[in-house]
Structure 1
Amino acid sequence: MNTMSTQTIAKNLNVGAVILDLGRRAKAAAPMLAMATSEQRNLALYEAAKALRDQAPEILTANALDLESVRNSNKDDAFIDRLSLTQDRITDMADALDAIAGQDDPLGKVLASFERPNGLHIERVSVPIGVIAMIYESRPNVGSDAGGLCIKSGNAVILRGGSESLQSSRVIVACLAAGLRAAGLPEDAVQLVDTRDREAVKLLLHSTDNVDLVIPRGGRGLVSLVQKEARVPTLLHLDGNNHTYVHDSADVEKAIGIIQNAKMRRTGICGATECVVIDYKIADQILPRIVGALEGCELRGDAEAQKIVPGMIAAADADWDTEYLSNIMSVKIVEGLQQGIEFVQAHSSGHTDAIIAEDNEAARLFMSAVDSAVVMHNASTQFSDGGEFGMGAEIGIATGKMHARGPVGAEQLTSYKYFVHGNGQQRP
């Protein structure tokens, strides 16, 4: 027996109508954006960047309202940091749109070209995916990056940001709409799900008629919901339980600087190192210095790490699989490269892992064996970012293996189709 109240049914029907309307409008806008010239799409981005700079006071005012709404909600410091916007962060958002506009057009590229014996000329050409639904939590700047990348790649996008960032997202999306309007492109190419109702997420995941791809960017709760409910193809961005392995050939001074940056530059982002794995041959030398360099960071170590640093908190089994997003890091001592690889493979979320080593063969083996989207040698894991990869911005770090992997920029938001040119050929 269905015990759903009349009020609940009416509420769900209302949200359903909103999502259906957004989807239909996005689907109608997508072909117009796909047919737009590169110059039009770039103009939309430059004008949106200008609007972000001009509207910075309004964005900061809206963000202050978002922050006030979570003041008594027991959100941790990492969450507040991701939700917060500053003048510098708004400038970075605008600069990212300019950088995206300055990139080569990802559309219309001839990826392959060949002639058949019957005279048919066949080309594989890059094209937009269509309509993308971007579901993300707390970080309002993601809306700007996602909108900009979708405009560049000719995709319409429906943005569903975290409910806590709704005020900020409204102003940011209005800036993107201003850019589209200035370029003579449909404003419906970038739309916001302007409701805090959580049912909207599930409805987007079921929008097979109007949405071509869903990209979730958030914690395990969101990812689990997507995996359970999605009827639309998804491009998953899983959590960043990232490791930095210190090989016995590591340059100690270099390693200290890398680890300090990889953990402490910004602890609340998905590219932060959450576990440092150290070869036992170098552990006595480097671990006490890591403790000194990571002032304010709580270290949780295994038994061997505790012997080297008495008083270090003991790591529980759960620590090896935890994305802390705060000033906490686990420490594991291993006996050689192979054990280090095996440990990272067992506990990494497949986002980003790194090796610090002067032995290039050891680095090659680690980078070949560790099955993560991004693997680094002698560099901070916090470089795992679309902007740092020259993409201007990113829509997320794809941790799966299909379609796209690693930072997802405009080029990764394209598909392809075959253009077949003939001259009257008929198949026998």
Structure 2
Amino acid sequence: MNSDVAGTEKVESLEVGQRILCGNRWVRVTQDLADAFQPGDSLIALQEMGELLRVSAADIKIADDAVSEASRAFAALTRASDQQISLFYEKFAELLSDDQLFRTVQIANEKDVEAALEKGRSVTRLRIDEKMRNDMVEGLLMWSRLDLARDHVMSTVEHVGWNVDVVQAPLGVVGFVFEGRPNVFADATGVLRSGNTVVFRIGSDALGTARAISQHMLAPALVASGLPEKAVVLIDSPTHGAGWALFAHSGLSLAIARGSGTAVAQLGAVARQSGIAVSLHGTGGAWMIMGQSARADDISSFVRHSLDRKVCNTLNVVAMTSDVSEHNVQAVLNGISTAATQRATRAIVHVRHTAQLLLSSCETPDNLDIVWSADIDYSREYEWENQPELALLFGSDIHDCIASFNAHSPQFVVSCLSQDQKDHDLVWRECNAPFVGNGFTRWVDGQYALKRPELGLSNWQGGRLLGRGGVLSGDGVHTVRLRAQQTDTGVHR
């Protein structure tokens, strides 16, 4: 084997200004990085982003121990029955439904919420309430009922004297990194249904809550069902470095990052650079494209129900043609207003100055604040807590609206509002999106749409997905094996 490497040396320290090669770029070491780097640490040079990530020796050990334990559990899980896996979900749901046990989780969650508020963080998805608890229980019970037997024969190819079974089989260790919200346990444990094991890190804001759920509900459910105790491993570390170390570990079969923003982009880059298959969510924010024939009553309802709360599939941009009727523009404003009224707040609507004439004949509801701008970044996802915020876009025609979607959206969710089937066909054919609808945008959810808990959603910002949809569910985490069975001893080539 030819090599252009004369030798290697272990890196024990870094110097300020030292040049590190990232693909075809030199990146210089900062003072902070040089001061922080210690013997035993590792440096990840992200080629696609031109960034340097320090992973401490402690984080490397935490991730390595977790993946090693989950790998051993994966081998042991092959000896467990499908009934035992179902029992695990049932016991987990039962323990989560126990009011006395749940109080310990609430106490931990209250501390997490208090700490997050002191840091000025959002607590919308961090605060665990009865609805979140019930949704978690429902998700666990849904996994228990799903018929996802391991070693499922997908098809059989018959030959004279022999045949080949195409078998869906467990994949291995799956790594998750979640944002800081406690309801991800039902999602993380979903991979057990198809015979996989999981290592996951949760955002530091929810780490105390996660520890309580693990101690009082997850671990006892694994023991009660007879599954390997390390089939589900929580990385008990608040650092980003633990996530980077996990996604760089060669023992992972699949890496899944939930959320959006720079942190998730970094995780994806780490996994790809390490040769690990990765499923990323990416930026959220749904679009609506409105045809001339859309009905005003429909528009108001669809807009209103797409703004009930801020999550990834919440309406972010409404795109209309410049010849849109006054009634339909009014319907959009009314739908936004109703959504704000239901939250007892005001809504913020971003519109370009060039569209003033189009809105001049409309009545602006009292609880709408129109923000006029010379230019609007339609690629921005509006991250709001209680006050709905979105943008209106006016294109020359529906083709222009579609072009704007492909150029500026996260290529995630698009809804076409029209009574003309040609408009729907055009949006389906030309919008580069994994999720296309004709009504409200909030339907994009594995549990809601497909009646099975999702492990993750993916947009098409990084390209279309090979052989799967934008919803990754438990039955999507598998490999394929071929099993030949010969009945004629004389078969030969």
1:214 alignment partner AA = A
Query: In the aligned structure 1, how far is the partner of 2:77 from the partner of 2:431?
Result: 39
In terms of mean alpha carbon deviation, does 309-318 or 402-411 score higher? 309-318
Query: In the aligned structure 1, how far is the partner of 2:188 from the partner of 2:468?
Result: 15
Equivalence for 1:298: 348
Q: CA deviation at 1:427?
A: 4.7
Q: 2:411 matched to 1:367? A: no
CA contact (8 A) 1:143 1:159 kept: no
Q: CA deviation at 1:324?
A: 1.0
Equivalence for 2:103: 57
Q: 2:295 matched to 1:251? A: yes
SS of 1:41's partner is: helix
Equivalence for 1:38: 82
Q: CA deviation at 1:329?
A: 0.2
Match of residue 400, structure 2, among 339, 344, 351: 339
CA 1:22–1:95 in structure 2 vs 1: closer, same or farther (change >3 Å)?
same
2:441 alignment partner AA = T
Q: Kindly provide the CA deviation profile for residues 340-374 of structure 1, in whole angstroms up to 9, marking residues without a partner as x.
A: 22121112212211111222232122122212121
SS of 2:381's partner is: coil
Aligned pairs for 1:235-314 (under 5 A) are 235-262=279-306, 264-267=307-310, 269-295=311-337, 296-309=346-359, 312-314=370-372
1:18 alignment partner AA = I
Query: In the aligned structure 1, how far is the partner of 2:147 from the partner of 2:39?
Result: 48
CA 1:211–1:338 in structure 2 vs 1: closer, same or farther (change >3 Å)?
same
Q: Kindly provide the CA deviation profile for residues 8-41 of structure 1, in whole angstroms up to 9, marking residues without a partner as x.
A: 4478222222211111110011133344322111
SS of 1:253's partner is: helix
Q: Kindly provide the CA deviation profile for residues 115-174 of structure 1, in whole angstroms up to 9, marking residues without a partner as x.
A: 235x33111111122100001111221233221x11212110111010111011112333
Equivalence for 1:415: 479
CA contact (8 A) 2:288 2:416 kept: yes
Match of residue 325, structure 1, among 373, 377, 383: 383
Q: Kindly provide the CA deviation profile for residues 173-195 of structure 1, in whole angstroms up to 9, marking residues without a partner as x.
A: 33222222211101211110001
SS of 1:111's partner is: strand
Equivalence for 2:442: 382
CA contact (8 A) 1:398 1:407 kept: yes
Q: 2:20 matched to 1:2? A: no
Equivalence for 1:358: 419
Query: In the aligned structure 1, how far is the partner of 2:188 from the partner of 2:124?
Result: 19
SS of 2:97's partner is: helix
Q: 2:254 matched to 1:213? A: yes
Equivalence for 1:397: 457
Question: What's the % identity of the aligned pairs?
Answer: 22
Q: Kindly provide the CA deviation profile for residues 205-262 of structure 1, in whole angstroms up to 9, marking residues without a partner as x.
A: 2101x21110011222122212332212211111113201121121211111111111
The structure with more helix, counted as a fraction of residues: 1
In terms of mean alpha carbon deviation, does 5-14 or 45-54 score higher? 5-14
CA 1:18–1:305 in structure 2 vs 1: closer, same or farther (change >3 Å)?
same
CA contact (8 A) 2:82 2:149 kept: no
Equivalence for 1:67: 113
Match of residue 116, structure 1, among 131, 139, 159: 159
Equivalence for 2:193: 152
Query: In the aligned structure 1, how far is the partner of 2:229 from the partner of 2:398?
Result: 53
CA 1:160–1:115 in structure 2 vs 1: closer, same or farther (change >3 Å)?
same
CA contact (8 A) 1:63 1:167 kept: yes
CA contact (8 A) 1:106 1:414 kept: no
Equivalence for 1:161: 202
Query: In the aligned structure 1, how far is the partner of 2:265 from the partner of 2:376?
Result: 19
Query: In the aligned structure 2, how far is the partner of 1:165 from the partner of 1:348?
Result: 30
In terms of mean alpha carbon deviation, does 339-348 or 93-102 score higher? 339-348
CA 1:139–1:48 in structure 2 vs 1: closer, same or farther (change >3 Å)?
same
CA 1:375–1:107 in structure 2 vs 1: closer, same or farther (change >3 Å)?
farther
2:93 alignment partner AA = A
1:130 alignment partner AA = G
When normalised by structure 1's length, the TM-score is 0.91
CA contact (8 A) 2:163 2:484 kept: yes
RMSD, aligned α-carbons: 2.2
Q: Kindly provide the CA deviation profile for residues 278-312 of structure 1, in whole angstroms up to 9, marking residues without a partner as x.
A: 23343421223322332322000134533233583
Query: In the aligned structure 1, how far is the partner of 2:480 from the partner of 2:230?
Result: 23
CA contact (8 A) 1:270 1:325 kept: no
CA contact (8 A) 2:173 2:252 kept: yes
Query: In the aligned structure 2, how far is the partner of 1:245 from the partner of 1:384?
Result: 16
1:73 alignment partner AA = K
Q: CA deviation at 1:112?
A: 2.1
Q: Kindly provide the CA deviation profile for residues 298-340 of structure 1, in whole angstroms up to 9, marking residues without a partner as x.
A: 0001345332335832356553001113221010112332222
Query: In the aligned structure 2, how far is the partner of 1:71 from the partner of 1:248?
Result: 45
Paired residues, number:
419
Query: In the aligned structure 2, how far is the partner of 1:306 from the partner of 1:312?
Result: 10
Match of residue 83, structure 1, among 106, 126, 129: 126
Match of residue 194, structure 1, among 224, 236, 255: 236
CA 1:287–1:197 in structure 2 vs 1: closer, same or farther (change >3 Å)?
same
Query: In the aligned structure 2, how far is the partner of 1:222 from the partner of 1:106?
Result: 35
Q: 2:107 matched to 1:100? A: no
